[in-house]
Each structure stands twice: as C-alpha cells, then as structure tokens.
C-alpha cells in the first residue's frame, strides 16, 4: 500500500505485496486466514491461496461471458468491432492448432483457445497498478491480496499438471499401455537383441521419464517465473514515488508483449505435447 505514508519500510512493502491471502489450518487446530508469511508456511501444503482461486475463477467467468455474449449475437452480415476481434482470436488459435497438431481431436482446439485467453487475462492483471486492488482490499479488512494468479506457482503448476494428465491419457489411449511403455523403454537406445533390449530398458526409462516429467515442470515454472519477475519489477517501481509514472508506463508497454507471449507459449507447448501424444512410433 503506497508505503502507508512511510509506516512501512521498503522490505515490508515488498513482502506484503508478495504475500497471498492464505486460508488453512493453524498449528493449534483452528482454521482461518494467515496473518503473515510464517503463519502461512505453518499451515502446510493443504493451505489455499484464496486470492489466486478467486481471481482465476473470476477471470475465467469473464472470458466465458465475453465469448458467449459475442457468439449469441453473432451475425452473418457485417460484424461489429468486438465480434471481429473475437473471430480474429479464434481464427488465430485455430490456424496455430492446425499447423501444429497432427492428430484428430475435438478437444485440442477449444483447449488451446481456453488456455490462451484465460492465461492472457490472468497475466493482464499484472498491468493493474500494484496498490489499487490491495489497498481497496485492505480498507475492506482484507490484509493481503495478490491479483496475478499466474504469479503463483500453485496456479501455473496446476494448469501444467492438468495438461500433463491429458498427455498421459492420450498417450495411453492412442498407443495403448504396451505402446506407451515401449516408447518409454525403447528409446533413445534401441537394439535387435532381446538381451540388449532388457539392458537398455531401464536406461531408456530413466532418460525418457526425465524428459516426460520435465514437460509439466518447464511448462508451469516458465509461466510463473516470467510473471513473478514482472510483478516484482512493478512493485519495485512503485517504491520510487513520483518517479514511478514514466517507468511504470514504459515497463507496462514492454510487459504487454511479455504477457501475450507467455500465454501463446503455454498454449503452443500444450498443443505440441498433445500432438506428440497422438503420434504412433
């Protein structure tokens, strides 16, 4: 909060803005909100970041409302500006999927569109001045409020694990259990000899297992790292007082490219991974 007239040090200001509104079980057995990072850490793995959940769902509903509203009033004649823009996004995603995905699925294109727009909306919250919503929440009695869901590793890894689940599902569905296991144990070292196949199988499993597990980890951490860094820079700029306006504007213009690119990268990697899951070897 704008340093609250100097009552907060710079370190306290940064820590406050990076703290989530966390709900969970206290060590004494009671349930409630954490009043600081130490209490949040003591709640353990099952604690919930309420602000991340709220803004993710809220922005998802906005995305669904906008696209549904445009679809319901779409006309075959001359479309309005909003319909043109939505159609351009849909066509852009559809062309990207057609160029990258080599299987047959009714899920991939809608999933790609959902991921791209939903993640973009979440990323876009990074452009809201860092004090506006947290200060409003503080006045309402809410101590912490982080408004960028993709700056929370729990959100980005949650989406990445969802994609990972689809990768496993389609890999087994298309190739069968035997084909999927054979893919993990038969590459990159292969041999005609049954004995060598047995020798190479654990080595291949380790190498391919690492490559498989790296997909959701890199997918989630890449998005989190870029948005967390962008949010931190905005917080540091806010500490500069009157000098923050030109710097905030300059970084916001550059960051607009970053948030769009990160949404696109997450979408395209998802399409690529699902395309690989549909391929027969």
* Residue 226 annotated as catalytic: yes
pLDDT in tens, 35-52: 999 999 999 988 999 999
Give the highest mean pLDDT range of 2-11, 102-111, 184-193: 102-111
From residue 171, alpha-carbon distances to 176, 210, 270 in Å are 7, 16, 14
pLDDT (tens digit per residue) in 193-234? 888 888 889 999 999 999 999 999 999 999 999 999 999 999
Q: Report residue 136 as tokens.
A: 């409003």
Whether 83 shows a pLDDT value over 70: the answer reads yes
The tens digit of pLDDT for each residue in 97-143 reads 999 998 888 999 999 999 999 999 999 999 998 889 999 999 999 99
Domains contained in the chain, number: 1
DSSP 8-state code for residue 12 = H
222: annotated active-site residue: yes
**pLDDT averaged over every residue in the chain:** 91
pLDDT of amino acid 76 = 66
Whether 80 maps to a domain, the answer reads no
Catalytic-labelled residue, pool 123, 171, 204, 226: 226
Q: Is residue 238 within 8 Å of residue 244, measured between CB atoms?
A: yes
Q: Which of 25, 154, 222, 275 is catalytic?
A: 222
- Look at residue 216 and tell me if it is in a domain: yes
Residue 161 belongs to domain spanning: 2-74+86-278
Short-list 75, 83, 76, 115, CA closest to 97:
115
Q: What is the DSSP code string of 10-50? A: HHHHHHHHH---EEEE-TTS-EEE-SSHHHHHHT-TT-EEH
Residue 32 lies in a domain: yes
Does some domain include residue 211? yes
Convert the pLDDT of each residue in 248-280 to its tens digit. 888 899 999 999 999 999 999 999 999 999 887
């Amino acid at each position: 909060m704008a340093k609250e007239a100097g009552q907060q040090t710079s370190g306290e200001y940064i820590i406050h803005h990076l703290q989530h509104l966390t709900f969970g079980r206290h060590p004494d057995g009671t349930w409630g909100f954490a009043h600081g990072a130490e209490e949040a850490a003591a709640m353990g793995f099952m604690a919930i970041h309420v602000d991340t959940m709220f803004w993710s769902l809220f922005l998802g509903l906005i995305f669904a409302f906008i696209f549904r509203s445009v679809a319901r009033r779409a006309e075959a004649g001359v479309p309005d500006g909003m319909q043109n823009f939505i159609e351009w996004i849909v066509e852009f995603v559809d062309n990207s999927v057609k160029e990258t995905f080599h299987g047959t699925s009714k899920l991939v294109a809608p999933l790609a569109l959902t991921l791209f727009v939903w993640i973009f909306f979440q990323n876009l919250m990074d452009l809201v001045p860092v004090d506006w919503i947290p200060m409003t929440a503080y006045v309402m009695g809410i101590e912490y409020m982080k408004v960028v869901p993709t700056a929370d590793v729990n959100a980005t890894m949650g989406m990445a694990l969802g994609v990972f689940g689809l990768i496993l599902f389609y890999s087994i569905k298309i190739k069968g259990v035997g084909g999927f296991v054979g893919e993990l144990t038969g590459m990159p070292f292969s041999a005609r000899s049954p004995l060598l196949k047995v020798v190479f199988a654990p080595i291949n499993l380790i190498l391919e297992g690492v490559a498989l597990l790296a997909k959701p980890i890199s997918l989630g951490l890449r998005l989190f790292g870029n948005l967390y860094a962008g949010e931190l820079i905005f917080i540091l700029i806010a500490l500069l007082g009157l000098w923050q306006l030109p710097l905030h504007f300059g970084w916001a213009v550059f960051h607009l490219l970053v948030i769009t690119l990160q949404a696109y990268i997450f979408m395209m990697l998802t399409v690529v991974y699902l395309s690989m899951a549909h391929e027969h070897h």
